[in-house]
Amino acid sequence: MADRYLHWTHTGPGRFLTRRLGLPRPERLHRWSAERPTLEGGPLLHLATAHARDEKELAAVLDGCGVPVVRALAEGSGTPCAVVVDATGIGAVPELRGIHELLHPVVRALAPCGRVVVLGAAPSPDDHHQAAAQQALEGFVRSLAKELRRGSTAQLVRLAPGTAPGAAASTLRFLLSPRSAFVSGQVIEVGAGEESGTAGGRARTALVTGAARGIGAQVAGTLAAGGARVLCLDVPQAGGDLEQVAARVGGTALPLDITASDAGARIADALPAGGLDVLVHNAGITRDRKLANMPSERWDPVLDVNLGGVLRTTDHLLAAGALRGARVVATASIAGIAGNMGQTNYAASKAGIIGLVRSLAPRARAEHGTTVNAVAPGFIETRMTAAVPFLVREAGRRMNSLSQGGLPVDVAETVAWLAAPESGAVNGQVVRVCGQSLLGA
């Protein structure tokens, strides 16, 4: 369903009334397209505090983002499309003044749909002054993201100890591109990791569950557009839609109930000899009702589809050696972070996904060379949200810093970044795709 309010606010009467009444006026977000593949408005401004580290390597990474990079705004050079601040060397509270000194003069000049990215270091367990200063950056960035207007976003990228800026290349390219339009206020930790997956010279193989419609169908299409051969999995009852999606993306339909006891084995049998390079756990259902009115018949299926099936199939594929060097991306939800009335079952299942990611990620990396991450969508415009009552739907759209709902492509682009061969340094992360929802952390 179209966001009529967003459209109205860009008409003459809408602009007038939103200004007079102080109503939100959502920006039309610049999302990636072949015609507009990079940020627009001016150069990328690369700034550094007095205590920054590895500036040359970071400069080389930023040069690969597709827009001109400058160290200062010259008169007449236009507004910056993005500002990147290197704060990796900040180790004491007085040094935080450097962040203010660098961003205060330029943040108002940011182009529409611009980006602010602060590069920080992981807080040290052995130096509480450094830990305090680096943790302060999180509060700063999350607050700045709520202050920015006209579709702009802000993120914090933390480098693990001993990690050079080059390890964050794929993350910075994603965050400094239109592909990250609905991602804001996030803290992403980057560590050491292999860049390439298992594909070698062949086409990568991806499996997307819940692929018959909505977000899953978009994920399948986005991965296919990136060159992957996609196995599209969904329940047999969705066979018609599943076949259409598979045909559209040049993939293969795999009608299968993910909760079946032999689901893992049947998936393994359907894989090519090289196994999977990408596994996207997107299948999910809702059976909403307050706990006092929720029988077990509404509890059990949600936990089994959204969480139990994910655990069982992942375990089986890991044990079968089908995920060596792969990228596993699961779908959580802001409901699993903040909770949601009438969704104790759904929120429990999505919080469980977060627990799975945090626990499995370091072991999967060590034992299989596999990364495990999750996306946590907020209000995304799908057939499901179109059926939500009008007032609830409007609240969901406006209760984020971008004052609008996201699109399935926003989730798909985030999945594609986490699934990329060069994203091996990103592991154990839960990235919210919610326009910085006001719900939860």
User: Which are the catalytic amino acids?
Assistant: 346
Spatial contact of 158 and 121, defined as CB atoms under 8 Å apart: yes
DSSP string, 44-59: EEEEE-TT---HHHHH
Residue 380 has what DSSP assignment? B
Burial environment of residue 73 by CB neighbours within 10 A (0 to 12, 13 to 18, 19 or more): middle
With the CA atoms of 430, 436, 437 and 440 taken in that order, what torsion angle do they form, in degrees rounded to the nearest 10?
50
First to last CA, the chain: 28
Alpha-carbon span 119 to 127, nearest angstrom: 19
Q: 219: how many CB neighbours lie within 10 A of its CB?
A: 33
> Helices (DSSP H) in 106-191: which residue ranges?
128-147, 169-175
Half-sphere exposure for 46 (CA within 13 Å, toward CB): 20
Query: Residue 412's closest CA among 256, 191, 183, 145?
Result: 183
> Which amino acid, residue 432?
R
Q: Report in angstroms the alpha-carbon separations of 21 from 9, 25, 400.
A: 12, 11, 19
Alpha-carbon span 306 to 349, nearest angstrom: 6
Alpha-carbon span 222 to 213, nearest angstrom: 13
Alpha-carbon span 68 to 79, nearest angstrom: 12
DSSP string, 196-207: --S-TTSPPEEE
